[in-house]
Structure 1
Amino acid sequence: MVDSHDLIYKTFLITRQYLIDIDKLMEQHTTNGILDEEGYMNALSVQNNLAYSLWKKYKETQKSMQWQWQPAAEFVDYLFDIAKQARNGQIAQPQETDAILCKFNALAQSGKELIYRKLRVLYNLCNDSLPTFSIWLKKMRAGWRK
């Protein structure tokens, strides 16, 4: 059985470490805004097998999460996009905080609980490397507890 906390931690490490190469590879396999996921995954497996295997395991976990509760899985995808924008310098300060909190608060309690279990790992990982993202996560955790 896959430990989703460990998997997200490793996925963030790999994504952070190889972000530039992964982004370039994604651009090469995107046409009209649509990613050729099969072509991308094949190229990723050749270029960086470790990143490929971790990403594949993450996707498997994500699919099981979608089966449990799709809006929660979509919210986690949204967080990954925000993290990527923060790493790329597209977001200089927590301008998206209100939007993130609105999306989070719109989820049912079961979805919040499912996500909250993952936020602890994301917060700890992002605290040093992505301070803006960790601020969002901290505010979300505080909002969730209310």
Structure 2
Amino acid sequence: MSINVTLRRTTAVAGGAFALALTLAACGAGNDTPDGAVENFLDNGAEDMVTAMLDGDADKAGEVASDHFCADDVEGVKEAAGMFADMSEEERQSALDMAGDEFTMFEDLSYEIGEVTEDGDTATVEASITADGETTDETFDLVKEDDAWKICGFLA
């Protein structure tokens, strides 16, 4: 695989994680409800996962992701972290530069949970996310794995 394809692919996966992670704010919650799982990730897991990915620490990124994401998404996080680990410092910087504003630090961000729809072992959670003065609406798909709600498909 060419370095440009690798950079684009890594940036896309990591960028998706960063975009999700940018929605951090304050409010603790657990994974026992769909909205609680989203809040738990935004409050407690996103920054740690993104930091591990940027450090190329696939094990740490996977460990953090497994608390918040479904099994399929955990593999994507590990893959992205592994790609970063395999890059030279110059290639990492190039990937970060291509992603641009998606790698903004976790400051001045807030979110508001909206409608929650639960149907058996699947759910969706609507959230309004404000970062850098701009508000966007996100829909989080979740599945129940091992009696805990996990975000799933966001990195696809």
Q: Flag whether TM exceeds 0.5 (same fold).
A: no
TM-score by length of 2: 0.34
Instruction: Please identify which structure carries the higher strand content.
Output: 2
TM-score normalised by L of structure 1: 0.36
Higher normalized helix content (fraction of residues):
1
